[in-house]
Structure 1
């Protein structure tokens, strides 16, 4: 079965310190040499994808200097990494609304020059609530402009929900309930609810996915063998669920192992095919 991996963090290795590479090896069980080979040359990634029936994958890029130690330069480097393979390597860009009060020039650059396929907001790493654009919250005009740009340009808006293992992350921003107002205020925007609020807000995430038809469920970072424990009525929202590995992430040694775990679930072949490929192909307008 063909797959589209809608959530990875393959970034140029120069952004990784030796300490972080050790963390990748010990906490995430990822082979650092394998990760280095892929990060240093996208052709190695394409070869791996061809071997494992991965037709396309999404690479996240977002500035989060307070938590992750890198800013806009990370987005630029990922753009350079994918430039010769944009049909297979789909970049999601980002502007940190807390640090950029005028995001439109940067958004236009990413859209026109980098040909991004979506936008990302990582509240837990960018230290901002997903509904901070609301007047009764922070009245953050920069965040409102980001959402409006995504809506106007038909770019999926991917928003992290749930917790993060990184020491400086602020997990209070990961509650999915902060996404509840977005479909009401931006009715044309496709919203990817990432990670399903795991490991403590899954019921909230499921409620939102049931309530808002424009929300899409990115199952990344949920161990596939736990997916039906966390979401026992998963098949009710499977027509809007997309596969993602979150590689390299905790417990995700390789993308293809994550894929195989998903295929073992007691789901119909039709549902597996939708989640593995069809839903994402439609969302990203792939053949």
Structure 2
């Protein structure tokens, strides 16, 4: 907890470092806390589950959602199975998030089911790094699986500076047919429209009960500027807290800064309540060790 409020970090990266391209490691060192790469990973580049548990405990994080990514042309291949030792160390604190790339996985629905059966709390799509659009018909069977199982879809909705990023694919308009065709599917816009699409992302969130804005990679002090056209307290009811760890100096500092922007009951929803309602099968906060 952070200042008496439960805290869920809905956007965390803990890959095997050897599977990544150099740009990812530079990003983590440039934007993360000093020494985080030497602290949270061992000399072979493997995450240290016990130390990660200590780090997130110290930052007040009750539950952390761990991301993988199949984007060999942009960042590398971060396999879903690489997350499982961390989850096994403390399944009350850590939950994995599935990822597929329609260029690599076929049939895509079978791979989604496989990762969900291994405990995934959501499916993340990364159209910018993966080189596809979310309205691709090949993904529709995956969306059917998610809607049937009441598992949310998380989509990278913002620019990326990594070499090879296809930023045009992050445009939230490509999600309009998905939202229309799958009315029971919760859709989380990771990075909240970062770069060119803050207004479009916010409009979608306010227009649809099933659309949410996830705040990873966004400096809290800039949120009033990014969403200046909207009533911040109203829009914040659709926010989900996330950091993009390790690319953040401090999770607790970010959480306090976000909470300071909105009324107390809204802060509780942003920091944990919304994520607890949206993501599949998260443990009760009090069960985290």
Q: Normalization by structure 2: what TM-score?
A: 0.87
- Corresponding residue for residue 271 of structure 1: 266
2:115 maps to 1:110: yes
**Counterpart secondary structure, 1:216:** strand
Among 38, 41, 52, the alignment partner of 1:36 is 41
**Counterpart secondary structure, 2:62:** strand
- Corresponding residue for residue 231 of structure 1: 227
Q: Which runs of 5+ in 1 are unaligned?
A: 134-140
Q: CA contact under 8 A between 2:14 and 2:67: conserved in structure 1?
A: yes
2:184 maps to 1:184: no
**Equivalents in 2 of 1:7, 1:126: separation in Å?**
18
Among 8, 15, 18, the alignment partner of 1:14 is 18
Q: CA contact under 8 A between 1:30 and 1:254: conserved in structure 2?
A: no
2:86 maps to 1:90: no
**Equivalents in 1 of 2:174, 2:85: separation in Å?**
33
**Equivalents in 1 of 2:21, 2:174: separation in Å?**
33
- Corresponding residue for residue 81 of structure 1: 86
- Corresponding residue for residue 247 of structure 1: 245
Query: Once superposed, what is the RMSD of the aligned Cα atoms?
Result: 2.1
Q: CA contact under 8 A between 2:243 and 2:251: conserved in structure 1?
A: yes
**Counterpart secondary structure, 2:163:** coil
The residue correspondences of 1:43-62 to structure 2 (distance < 5 A) are 43-62=50-69
Q: CA contact under 8 A between 1:28 and 1:248: conserved in structure 2?
A: yes
2:161 maps to 1:159: no
Deviations 1:152-179 (A, max 9, x none): 1111100011100101111010111111
Q: Which runs of 5+ in 2 are unaligned?
A: 285-289
**Distance change (3 Å), C-alpha of 1:105 and 1:131:** closer
**Distance change (3 Å), C-alpha of 1:220 and 1:20:** closer
Among 105, 116, 120, the alignment partner of 1:100 is 105
Shift in Å at residue 83 of structure 1? 2.5
Among 26, 29, 51, the alignment partner of 1:25 is 29
**Counterpart secondary structure, 2:76:** coil
More displaced, 97-106 or 273-282?
97-106
**Counterpart secondary structure, 2:64:** strand
**Equivalents in 1 of 2:23, 2:201: separation in Å?**
33
Q: CA contact under 8 A between 2:40 and 2:52: conserved in structure 1?
A: no
Shift in Å at residue 16 of structure 1? 4.2
